[in-house]
Every structure is written in structure tokens, then in C-alpha cells.
């Protein structure tokens, strides 16, 4: 019955149905029931102005009269202001649109009710575009009222929040209580004490109380996350049972020799733990697909190398793919250094590798004399053929998509084990969901002895002090980065700010070599400049954010970030990770303009307070929402979450995930009716069903 077209609902009709479909994606009665208010207004009491506190109030209702109206400003800037009183104190009301209509509609001396969110500004409490209705003494006080999100088009065509509410009201009134079919398995509903769907939907639109609304929303969030987890987990399991991998049973002489004789420092506890996790994966005969998260500087490269040694010890080859030429080169250098005492051959293949060399490498890959190949995208070209690729490591995941990973697999009869490494720390519950097709390991410990990077927030009028400090560091032989924001809409101005900065720095530090890298440069030119800096020839690198990913210049001790307010927290953290790689104290200086909004101040404040990537990323997600997080767009999984928030609802995610796992493991036995419910929901949400035959 709920699958019926919305146009048959009383008060809708053809025209409105079209509008609701195009603007809000509401096609059926069920869609309407799932179009939830974005917030609720407390209509259980009238507030008094004298009770207002702070500088901003929640949505409230106020009863009283308009005293006077006046039009101010000209043309497009015109506005209507009114003074309103609750009989005791005054407040201001302002409208910027529909001025004529409003001025004609409300009169002084009549009792009205205002709904809105007052803010204290210009020495008075202000309402902007509140909802206004005549006070009706006969009407009993109401509880919470839903406010629905609308588009501009809908507003212009006369669709209001009230209208939607009355449509939902009509619909709900026509359905007998309890008649809306449940969408969660009864077993879970009972065990988790969740509100039934029928009750939850009614309470989302017309809450009986704040508590009931809370429980309704929790239940609906749980439902979204439960099906999302079920979908992801089922997908991951299918992959695991289908793809076979090399069995790397042996921890051989290379691994052991490296561990006991070559590696110059003890591994951290986290590195050891992760290596155990990787080895456990690769012993089983299924193909490993693992994400390795570790903060900048946590020592992922070493873990990658030792994983590759396991492949070589078992008679297989390994590859390491990096997103840029300079990174690939750096990796090849450090790997070659470690590999040399072991007597294994490491080669580098990038876009600029000469033809003769390429031929040589191609041969070595086929006859197996090359054990480890490091490179860029060049590795996934068709011409690159391995004899037997056993392990593929991909550094800095966000530059490679799922499709590119798959291309690496297709190179071998048996898919190689894949290890994807990223320095973007994502809280674990989220990572498990976002990278649902990957298992997750975390290096959550930095090597001992690192000095925390000093982070300062400085403003334009502190420039002299900042440059004096920079000069000090340069005089001690150190190097420095100066980073400008990359402005995507207009790469021109990105280039301009970096170029101006470059000229200014050259003027300020005569005799100091300065390199410049910006978004408009050709990759080869970029690499050349990076190389100048990496080799120490250039002492300062002025750049837009192209250096974000992984370069290692241990001698650099200063990171100055211009217009720091324009960067996301995770980005700032990545940038800061470029310094502090040597033994010396390092500095990160966030430059900003003076007038910062409260949010920005908070964001930059977090940077000065902590260097813990996980804390930072959690804070970032809370401020921005996970949709913006690097990497999340690439998971290829449609989330379609209406209520649940991956950043804030970690608790619900854990429970929903645990229940999904119990069901897939056959640990929670379901009645046939519940299985039908799950299949129906998975079909509508993800166009699939679970093969229950495989669940024992």
C-alpha cells in the first residue's frame, strides 16, 4: 500500500506530485513517510524574551504583538523591520524578501505567535524571517513540531513545511496504528529494544515527547547502518571465498636475516603487530586485501618491505607502487639500501625510465631476477609482465582507485596479495565501513625518540618574527617549506600567490636557493624542482599543496603554511608531517588573517594542541562530516544515509555491525519471516539478496 504513487494522496495531485518528485525525490507514500523533518520546534511552551540567554537560542515560539514596521534600504538591499513585544520586553524582526506581502499581512495590536531562532546582535534579540501565525487561544498547547527542509523552487510554488506536515498527517491518519510493516528482523528489534518502525515513523513526524523522538531517530539510524553493514560484510565475504591467493607459509632466510642483522632499529610494537596480522592473512590461501593505516612517520615503508620479503622468501616477486615519481624514487632508494646486504635485486620503473633500461627491466621481471619492482603508474601498463607477482603494495591509497588496484591483480593467474597504505587516519569503525572491501590494520605508535613538532598560529603582523625564526633555522643548515593553498576553481590565482610568495622570499633571503612548485607546472618540471629541494641544493621550497603526499626530506625543520584557514585539518596534518623527520626540533607555523570565525579558530587550535593524527581526523570529521574525508569517495559504496552520521554514530555502527556479523556467521538464528524482511530491505536498498544457503 505504501508503494502507491504520491499523487493519489489527498492534497497532492498531478502537479504537486511532479514537484515533490523532482525537488525532493518523493515518489511514493513510503518516500513521503521517510522524508524526515530536519529539526523540531518546541511548541509545548511560550518563551519570554527575558528568558533568552547567551547569543543564540534554539528554535522557540514567542507570543506577542508587533509595535511598528519600517522599510529600510533601497532596491535589492531593501528590508522590512519590525519591533515585537511579549508585553514585557522588545525584540527586532527582519525580513529581506516578500516585503510588500508581509507588510500588508500583519498588523500592530493583534496577538501573534512567532517561531524562529533568535540571535543577539546589535544590542537586541533578532528574528530573521520567522514563521508567524495568529494566536488562537482555543488551541491547546502542542508538543514538538517538525520543520521540513525545502528547496527554493518549492517555496516559490507555495509548498511550505506546514503543507508537508499536513500531507504526512493525512497519510498517517489513514493508516491504522501498527499497520506499517516492520523493516528489521523481530529478533533484533526485541533484543536491542528498538522502537517498531510504525511507532518510529509516527514519532519522527509528530513526536509524543523529546524522548520518543530520540528513540525513533535511534531506531531509524540503526536500521540504515544495519543494512549498510550487512551489505558491505556480505560483499567482503563473497570476495574472500572467491579469490584465492598465494600461500606464503614460510618465514624464510631473507626475512629473518633482515630482521636480525640489517634493520637498524628495533621495530615498534605496532609494526610487529601489523606484520603478524599480514602474515596471518597470507598463510590462509585466500587473497589478502588489506588497508594499512599509519600516521605520517609511523614507519609504514619498513612494514611494506618486510611484507615483500615474505613474498621473495616464498619464491615470488613483489611490487611497490607510489603516486608520484619523486616518491617512487625515494622508495626505491631506501629499499635498495635495505635489500643490498640481502643480495636481492630492486629496480625502479617510472614514466621517465629510458627505453633500453625498460627492456632490461622487462627481461628481469620475466626471468625472475628482479625481486622487487618499485614504480609509479608505469607499473600497471600492459607491457609490464611479472614472472610471478606475489605481493603488491600501494602507497598513499587516495591517489589510486579501486579500478587501478584491480588492474594490478589482473596481471597474474593467482591474484597477488594487496597491501594499501595510507597516512590518512580514519577512526577504525569508520574505516571498516568506508573501506568495506578492505581489511584494516593500524600502526598506532610512532618510533621512539621523535620530538613533537612545535606548532604555532601566527598572523600577518607577526611576519617579521616568523621570518627571523626561519632565518635562524636556515643558518643552522636546515631547510624549509612554505606552502600556499591550492585554489581549484582558479588555478591562476594559486599560481599567482605561490609565485608572489616565491619572489618575496627570494627578496628577503638573498643568496639562498629557493625552489618553486605549483599546480600549473608540468610533472617533469615539478619533479625537477622537488629534486633540487630533496638534494639540499635549494634550501626553501615554495609550493602549493602538491607536496602533500609523502616526500621525505629529513633535513627540513620548518613548515610555514600560508592562509592556513583554507586547509582542512587532515591536510594540515599531512603537511606538518613533512617536517620532524630528523633528530632536530621542528616547527610548523600556521599563518592566518586576524579575523577568524569561531569554527576556524577551533580547527587551527586543534592543530596547535595535538599531533595525534587520529584525534585530528576525528575532530575533522566532526567539523566537516565524513563525506569530505579524503578517500571516502573512492570506496565505491553507495551509502545513502539519511539520518545516521558515520562520524557521530560510532556507537550505533558498532552494534549494527556486530549484529550483521552474527547473522552472517549463523550465530543469530532468524525466523523465516525475518529472513524475508532482510531480503526485502536489501533488495530495495542495494538491489541484492543474501545467499542464505551459504550461512550455516
**Contact window for ligand ADP (CB under 6 A) among 84-92, 244-252, 261-269, 412-420:** 261-269
294: enclosing H helix or E strand: strand 289-294
DSSP state of 635: G
Q: Which is nearer to ligand ADP, 302 or 606 (CB)?
A: 302
Could you say whether residue 297 binds ligand ADP (CB under 6 A)? yes
| Smaller CB separation from ligand ADP, 325 or 565 | 325
Indicate the Cα dihedral angle 391, 395, 399, 404, nearest 10°: -10
For the CB of residue 513, give the shortest distance to Mg ion in the complex, in Å.
26
Residue 538, Cα to own-chain centre: how many angstroms? 35
Nearer to ligand ADP, 335 or 653 (CB): 335
Binding segment toward Mg ion, per CB under 5 A, in 216-224, 337-345, 455-463, 544-552: 544-552
Q: In the complex with ligand ADP, which residue's Cβ is closer, 171 or 559?
A: 559
- Report residue 62 as a C-alpha cell: 514567542
| Core vs surface per residue 278-304: b (16+ CB within 10 A) or e | bbebbbeebbbbbbbbbbbbbbbbbbb
* CB of 427 closer than 8 Å to CB of 621: yes
Q: Single out the segment in contact with ligand ADP by CB under 6 A; choices: 26-34, 267-275, 344-352, 620-628.
A: 267-275
CB-nearer residue toward ligand ADP: 130 or 294: 294
Stretch that binds Mg ion, among 16-24, 92-100, 545-553, 586-594 (CB under 5 A): 545-553
- C-alpha 304/C-alpha 334 separation (Å) is 12
Residue 325 CB, shortest distance to ligand ADP, in Å, is 17
Using the rule CB under 6 A, is 301 a contact of ligand ADP?
A: yes
When CB distances are held under 5 to 8 angstroms depending on the partner's kind, the choice from Mg ion, ligand ADP, none that residue 350 binds is none
- Which partner in Mg ion, ligand ADP, none is near 344 (CB below 5 to 8 A by kind)? none
* Residue 568: CB minimum distance to ligand ADP, A: 19
Residue number, 335 or 373, with CB nearest to ligand ADP: 335
Mark the segment that binds Mg ion (CB under 5 A) among 89-97, 501-509, 542-550, 608-616. 542-550
Vertex 426, ends 421 and 430: CA angle to 5°? Answer: 115
Tell the residue number behind the cell numbers 489527498, with chain if given.
10
By CB under 5 A, is residue 323 in contact with Mg ion?
Answer: no
Asked if residue 501 binds ligand ADP (CB under 6 A), the reply is no
271 contact, one of ligand ADP, Mg ion, none, CB 5-8 Å limit per kind: ligand ADP
CA 329 to CA 528: how far, in whole Å? 12
Query: What's the CA angle centered on 417, arms 415 and 418, to 5 degrees?
Result: 110
Cα 414 from Cα 417, distance rounded (Å): 9
Can residue 268 be called a binding residue for ligand ADP (CB under 6 A)? Answer: yes
Helix orientation angle between 325-339 and 300-313, rounded to the nearest 10 degrees: 60
CB 57 within 8 A of CB 77: no
Query: What does the alpha-carbon distance between residue 602 and residue 110 come to, in Å, rounded to a whole number?
Result: 45
Q: 447 touches which of Mg ion, ligand ADP, none (CB within 5 to 8 A by kind)? A: ligand ADP
Question: Does 296 sit near ligand ADP (CB under 6 A)?
Answer: yes
Q: Any contact of residue 390 with Mg ion (CB under 5 A)? A: no
- With CB under 5 to 8 Å by kind, the binding choice for 498 among Mg ion, ligand ADP, none is none
What is the total count of residues that contact ligand ADP (CB under 6 A)? 15
**Binder to ligand ADP among 64, 118, 245, 294 (CB under 6 A)?**
294
Using CB atoms, what's the residue nearest to ligand ADP?
Answer: 299
Instruction: Choose, by CB under 6 A, the member of 302, 495, 514, 547 that binds ligand ADP.
Output: 302
| 608/600 Cα distance (integer angstroms) | 13
The Cα 619–Cα 617 span in angstroms is: 5
The one segment of 233-241, 291-299, 357-365, 434-442 that binds ligand ADP by CB under 6 A: 291-299
Helix, strand, coil percent values for the chain (each to nearest 5): 45, 20, 35
Helix (H, G, I), strand (E, B) or coil at 83: strand
Read off the DSSP letter of residue 28: B
By CB under 5 A, tell whether 550 contacts Mg ion.
yes
Q: Is the Cβ–Cβ distance between 26 and 171 less than 8 Å?
A: no
Residue 515 CB, shortest distance to Mg ion, in Å, is 21
- The order of strands in the sheet holding 60-72 is 119-121, 124-128, 90-95, 79-85, 60-72, 112-116, 131-134
Minimum Å gap between C-beta 335 and Mg ion is 12
Q: At residue 614, what are phi and psi to the nearest 5 degrees?
A: -70, -40
Q: Can you tell me which of 196, 315, 364, 447 binds ligand ADP, judged by CB under 6 A?
A: 447
Window contacting Mg ion (CB under 5 A); options: 257-265, 386-394, 518-526, 550-558: 550-558
Span interacting with Mg ion, options 347-355, 466-474, 480-488, 546-554, rule CB under 5 A: 546-554
- Mask 584-623, x = binds ligand ADP (CB under 6 A)? ----------------------------------------
Pattern 398-437, ligand ADP, x by CB under 6 A: -------------------------x--------------
User: Applying CB under 6 A, does 300 fall inside the site for ligand ADP?
Assistant: yes
267 touches ligand ADP (CB under 6 A):
yes
Nearer to ligand ADP, 513 or 584 (CB): 584
Q: Please pick, from the candidates 56, 160, 265, 285, the single residue that binds ligand ADP as defined by CB under 6 A.
A: 265
Phi, psi of 598 (to 5 degrees): -60, -40
Q: To the nearest whole angstrom, how small is the minimum distance from the Cβ of residue 443 to ligand ADP?
A: 7
**What are the φ/ψ torsions at residue 341 (nearest 5 degrees)?**
-65, -15
- Spatial distance between the Cα atoms of 111 and 105, rounded to a whole number of angstroms: 13
Cβ atoms of 360 and 349 closer than 8 Å:
no
DSSP 561-602: ETTGGGS-HHHHHHHHTTS--SSS--EEEEEE-S---HHHHH
Q: Give the whole-angstrom CA distance, residue 661 versus residue 656.
A: 9
- With beta carbons less than 8 A apart as the criterion, state whether 673 and 219 touch: no
Name the DSSP letter for residue 435: T
Which residues would be at the binding site for Mg ion (CB under 5 A)?
550
Which residues would be at the binding site for ligand ADP (CB under 6 A)?
265, 267-268, 271, 294, 296-302, 423, 447, 552
Amino acid at each position: 500500500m505504501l508503494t502507491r504513487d504520491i499523487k493519489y494522496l489527498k492534497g497532492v495531485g498531478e502537479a504537486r506530485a511532479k514537484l515533490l518528485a523532482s525537488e525532493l525525490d518523493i515518489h511514493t507514500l513510503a518516500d513521503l513517510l521517510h522524508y524526515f523533518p530536519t529539526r523540531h520546534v518546541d511548541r509545548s511552551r511560550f518563551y519570554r524574551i527575558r528568558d533568552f540567554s547567551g547569543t543564540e537560542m534554539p528554535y522557540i515560539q514567542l507570543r506577542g504583538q508587533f509595535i511598528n514596521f519600517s522599510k529600510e534600504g533601497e532596491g535589492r538591499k531593501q528590508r522590512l523591520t519590525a519591533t515585537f513585544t511579549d508585553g514585557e520586553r522588545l525584540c527586532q524582526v527582519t525580513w529581506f524578501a516578500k516585503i510588500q506581502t508581509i507588510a500588508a499581512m500583519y498588523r500592530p495590536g493583534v496577538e501573534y505567535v512567532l517561531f524562529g531562532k533568535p540571535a543577539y546582535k546589535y544590542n537586541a534579540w533578532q528574528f530573521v524571517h520567522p514563521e508567524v501565525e495568529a494566536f488562537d487561544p482555543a488551541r491547546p498547547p502542542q508538543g514538538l513540531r517538525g520543520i521540513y527542509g525545502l528547496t527554493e523552487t518549492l517555496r516559490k510554488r507555495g509548498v511550505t513545511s506546514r503543507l508537508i506536515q499536513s500531507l504526512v498527517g493525512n497519510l498517517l491518519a489513514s493508516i491504522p496504528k501498527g499497520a506499517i510493516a516492520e523493516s528489521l528482523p523481530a529478533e533484533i528489534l526485541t533484543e536491542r529494544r528498538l522502537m517498531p518502525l510504525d511507532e518510529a515513523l509516527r514519532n519522527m513526524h509528530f513526536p509524543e515527547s523529546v524522548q520518543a523522538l530520540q528513540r525513533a531517530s535511534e531506531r531509524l539510524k540503526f536500521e540504515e547502518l544495519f543494512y549498510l553493514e550487512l551489505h558491505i560484510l556480505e560483499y567482503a565475504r563473497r570476495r574472500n571465498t572467491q579469490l584465492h591467493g598465494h600461500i606464503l607459509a614460510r618465514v624464510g632466510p631473507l626475512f629473518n636475516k633482515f630482521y636480525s642483522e640489517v634493520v637498524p632499529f628495533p621495530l615498534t610494537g605496532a609494526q610487529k603487530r601489523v606484520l603478524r596480522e599480514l602474515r596471518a592473512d597470507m598463510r590462509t590461501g585466500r587473497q589478502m586485501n588489506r588497508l594499512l593505516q599509519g600516521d605520517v612517520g609511523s614507519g609504514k615503508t619498513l612494514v611494506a618491505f618486510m611484507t615483500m620479503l615474505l613474498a621473495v622468501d616464498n619464491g615470488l616477486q613483489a611490487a611497490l607502487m607510489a603516486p608520484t615519481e619523486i616518491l617512487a624514487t625515494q622508495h626505491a632508494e631506501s629499499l635498495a639500501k635495505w635489500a643490498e646486504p640481502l643480495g636481492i635485486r630492486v629496480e625502479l620503473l617510472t614514466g621517465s625510465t629510458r627505453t633500453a633500461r625498460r627492456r632490461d627491466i622487462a627481461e628481469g621481471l620475466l626471468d625472475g631476477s628482479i625481486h622487487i619492482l618499485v614504480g609509479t603508474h608505469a607499473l600497471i601498463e600492459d607491457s609490464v609482465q611479472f614472472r610471478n607477482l606475489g605481493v603488491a603494495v600501494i602507497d598513499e591509497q587516495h591517489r589510486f582507485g579501486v579500478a587501478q588496484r584491480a588492474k594490478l591483480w589482473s596481471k597474474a593467474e593467482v591474484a597477488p596479495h594487496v597491501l594499501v597504505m595510507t597516512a590518512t587516519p580514519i577512526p577504525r569503525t569508520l574505516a571498516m565501513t568506508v573501506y568495506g572491501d578492505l581489511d584494516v590494520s593500524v600502526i598506532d605508535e610512532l618510533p621512539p625518540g621523535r620530538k613533537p613538532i612545535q606548532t604555532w598560529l601566527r598572523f600577518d603582523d607577526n611576519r617579521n618574527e616568523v621570518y627571523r625564526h626561519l632565518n635562524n633555522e636556515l643558518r643552522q643548515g636546515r631547510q624549509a617549506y612554505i606552502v600556499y593553498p591550492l585554489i581549484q576553481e582558479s588555478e591562476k590565482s594559486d599560481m599567482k600567490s605561490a609565485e608572489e610568495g616565491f619572489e618575496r622570499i627570494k627578496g628577503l633571503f638573498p643568496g639562498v636557493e629557493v625552489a618553486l612548485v605549483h599546480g600549473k607546472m608540468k610533472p617533469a618540471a615539478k619533479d625537477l624542482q622537488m629534486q633540487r629541494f630533496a638534494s639540499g641544493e635549494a634550501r626553501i621550497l615554495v609550493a602549493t599543496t602538491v607536496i602533500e603526499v609523502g616526500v621525505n626530506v629529513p633535513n627540513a625543520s620548518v613548515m610555514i603554511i600560508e592562509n592556513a584557514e583554507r586547509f582542512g585539518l587532515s591536510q594540515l596534518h599531512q603537511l606538518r608531517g613533512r617536517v620532524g623527520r630528523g633528530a632536530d626540533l621542528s616547527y610548523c607555523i600556521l599563518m592566518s588573517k586576524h579575523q577568524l570565525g569561531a569554527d576556524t579558530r577551533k580547527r587551527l587550535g586543534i592543530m596547535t594542541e595535538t599531533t595525534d593524527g587520529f584525534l585530528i581526523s576525528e575532530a575533522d570529521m566532526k567539523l566537516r562530516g565524513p563525506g569530505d574525508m579524503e578517500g571516502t569517495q573512492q570506496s565505491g559504496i553507495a551509502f545513502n544515509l539519511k539520518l545516521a552520521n558515520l562520524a557521530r554514530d560510532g556507537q550505533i555502527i558498532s552494534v549494527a555491525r556486530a549484529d550483521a556479523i552474527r547473522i552472517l556467521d549463523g550465530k543469530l538464528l532468524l525466523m523465516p519471516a525475518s529472513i524475508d524482511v532482510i531480503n526485502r530491505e536489501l533488495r530495495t536498498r542495494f538491489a541484492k539478496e543474501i545467499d542464505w544457503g551459504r550461512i550455516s
